[in-house]
């Protein structure tokens, strides 16, 4: 069974926590150490960012991380090699998050095969059109048992949400707002209504809320309305400041426990 499906099947109501970091930042060879630290700290799912020169869905923190990673020589091939080296150590589901351009240059077939060889269970491609997913990417990903995770936003129609739910597997990434990534202090009533509206649809796939989660209020709001939460910018900022994954994780835990 795919590790993503296995995790959700075994969660039994426990709220999950997923973290994102950009491969190659703060150091080009730090991927393995960051993953080991996350596993020690009990993180449920890890999104490993593929650095790209034009990350349109990301805010300044992740854009800066991607720039540093590219300058340090991080490539998709190098990332796969790093992940393959720790495949037998890391038991958490790993999901690659990256944009379509470098993945298409690498090749969809080769990309999915490399995911299998390096222990990657899924991928998030924010700029992948749903039609292209259905016609080009899904057949290849299904053959390799790689889950392609699709995003929805407050502007996504019910028809599109139900189509995504029908034709994907793993989980649905519920973007908290139609904006770029970045920490927020709270989720307003409009966002909470969006969470409730999607929750009432009775979707087949579990949902994870991402974008803007940085403190106890946003974490609890996300977990109350979905299977769990995804934290990106807050952890990336802490990791860049400390340059030590264990320290960054400790500081994140403090921030999420505070008022």
Containing 247, the helix (H) or strand (E) segment is helix 245-257
CB of 185 within 8 A of CB of 209?
Answer: no
Active site residues: 47, 58
CB of 2 within 8 A of CB of 29?
Answer: no
CB of 146 within 8 A of CB of 123?
Answer: yes
Question: Exposed, middle or buried by CB within 10 Å (0-12, 13-18, 19+), for 127?
Answer: middle
The span from the first CA to the last CA of the chain, in angstroms, equals: 39
Q: Considering only CA atoms, which of 248, 259, 258 is closest in space to residue 43? A: 248
DSSP E strands: which ranges in 121-212?
A: 122-124, 147-149, 151-152, 172-175, 207-210
Task: Measure the CA–CA gap between 171 and 53, rounded to whole angstroms.
Answer: 27
């Amino acid at each position: 069974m795919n590790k993503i499906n296995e995790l959700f099947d075994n969660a039994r109501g426990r709220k999950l926590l997923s973290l994102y970091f950009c491969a190659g930042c703060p150091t080009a060879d730090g991927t393995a150490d960051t993953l080991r630290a996350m596993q020690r700290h009990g993180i449920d799912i890890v999104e490993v960012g593929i650095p790209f020169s034009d990350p349109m869905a990301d805010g300044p923190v992740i854009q800066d991380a991607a720039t540093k990673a590219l300058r340090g020589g991080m490539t998709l091939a190098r990332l796969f090699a790093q992940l393959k080296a720790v495949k037998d150590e890391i038991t958490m589901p790993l999901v690659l998050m990256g944009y379509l351009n470098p993945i298409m240059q690498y090749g969809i077939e080769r990309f999915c095969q490399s995911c299998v060889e390096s222990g990657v269970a899924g991928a998030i491609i924010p700029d992948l059109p749903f039609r292209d997913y259905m016609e080009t990417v899904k057949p290849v990903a299904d053959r390799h048992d790689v889950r392609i995770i699709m995003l929805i936003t407050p502007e996504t129609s019910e028809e599109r949400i139900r189509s995504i739910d029908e034709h994907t597997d793993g989980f649905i990434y519920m973007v908290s707002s139609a904006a770029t990534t970045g920490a927020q202090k709270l989720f307003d009533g409009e966002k909470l209504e969006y969470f409730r509206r999607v929750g009432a649809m009775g979707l087949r796939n579990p949902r994870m809320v991402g974008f803007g989660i940085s403190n106890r209020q946003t974490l609890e709001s996300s977990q109350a309305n979905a299977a769990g939460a995804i934290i990106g910018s807050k952890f990336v900022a802490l990791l860049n400041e400390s340059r030590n994954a264990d320290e960054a994780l400790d500081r994140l835990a403090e921030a999420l426990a505070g008022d």
